[in-house]
Amino acid sequence: MPVVNIEVSETPLVLYALRRADDALILGHRLSEWCGHAPMLEEDMALSNIALDLIGQARELYTYAAKAEGKDNDEDKLAYLRDVRQYRNLLLLEQPNGDFAQTLVRQFFYSAFADLYWRAMMTSRDTTLAAIAAKSEKESAYHLRHSSEWIIRLGDGTDESHARAQAAIDHLWAFTGEMFAVDDGERALIHADIAVDPGTLRGRWLTTLSEVIGEAMLKLPQNDWMQQGGRVGRHSEHLGHLLSELQSIQRTFPGQTW
Amino acid sequence: MVTVLEPHNELRQRAWDAAASVVDPEIPVLTIADLGVLRDVVVDGDHVEIAITPTYSGCPAMNMIALEIEVALERAGFHRPKVRTVLSPAWTTDWMSAEGRRKLHAYGIAPPQASNSRRALFGEQAVVCPQCSSADTELLSEFGSTSCKALWRCRACREPFDYFKCH
Fold classification of B2-91 is GMP Synthetase; Chain A, domain 3 (3.30.300)
Whether B56 contacts chain A with CB within 8 A: yes
**Per-residue pLDDT, B2:** 42
Has residue B95 got a pLDDT over 70? yes
User: What b/e sequence results for A19-45 when a residue is b if at least 16 CB atoms lie within 10 Å of its CB, and e otherwise?
Assistant: bbbbbbbbbbbbbbebeeebeeeebbb
Averaged pLDDT of chain A: 96
Per the CB < 8 Å rule, is B58 touching A127? Answer: no
CB-closest option in A28, A51, A131 to B87: A131
The residues in A 149-208 lying below 8 A from B, measured between CB atoms, are 149
Confidence of residue B114 (pLDDT cuts 50, 70, 90): low
CB-closest option in A45, A55, A132 to B58: A55
Cβ contacts (< 8 Å) between B88 and chain A: which residues? 127-128, 130-131, 134
Has residue B38 got a pLDDT over 50? yes
Q: What is the CA radius of gyration of chain B?
A: 18
Q: What is the rounded CA–CA span in Å between residue B2 and residue B162?
A: 50
Confidence of residue B123 (pLDDT cuts 50, 70, 90): low
Within chain B, all domains assigned CATH 3.30.300.130 are found at 2-91
Q: What is the rounded CA–CA span in Å between residue A134 and residue A119?
A: 7
The mean pLDDT value for B45-67 works out to: 90
Q: Are A112 and A144 in contact (CB under 8 A)?
A: yes
**Per-residue pLDDT, B124:** 53
Q: Where are the beta strands (DSSP E) in A133-181?
A: none
Interface predicted TM-score of the whole assembly (ipTM), two decimals? 0.81
Per the CB < 8 Å rule, is B147 touching A49? Answer: yes
Positive/negative CA dihedral, B1, B5, B7, B12: positive
Query: Length of chain A in residues, anyone?
Result: 258
The mean pLDDT value for A2-14 works out to: 92
Residue pLDDT, tens place only, A123-173: 999 999 999 999 999 999 999 999 999 999 999 999 999 999 999 999 999
**Per-residue pLDDT, B148:** 87
Pairing state between β B160-164 and B109-110: parallel
Confidence of residue A74 (pLDDT cuts 50, 70, 90): very high
Q: What is the rounded CA–CA span in Å between residue A177 and residue A226?
A: 5
Q: Which residues contact B28 (CB under 8 A, 6 or more apart)?
A: none
Q: Which helix (H) or strand (E) holds B44?
A: strand B38-44
The residues in B 1-20 lying below 8 A from A, measured between CB atoms, are none
Cβ contacts (< 8 Å) between A127 and chain B: which residues? 88
Has residue B163 got a pLDDT over 90? yes
pTM equals: 0.91
Q: What is the rounded CA–CA span in Å between residue A144 and residue A115?
A: 7
A5: left (phi over 0), alpha (psi -120 to 50) or beta: beta
Pairing state between β B109-110 and B137-141: unpaired
Has residue B4 got a pLDDT over 70? no
Delineate the domains of chain A, giving CATH numbers in brackets: 12-252 (1.20.1260.10)
Q: Are B146 and B165 in contact (CB under 8 A)?
A: no
Has residue B121 got a pLDDT over 50? no
Pairing state between β B47-52 and B82-85: parallel
**Per-residue pLDDT, A1:** 56
Q: What is the rounded CA–CA span in Å between residue A211 and residue B130?
A: 35
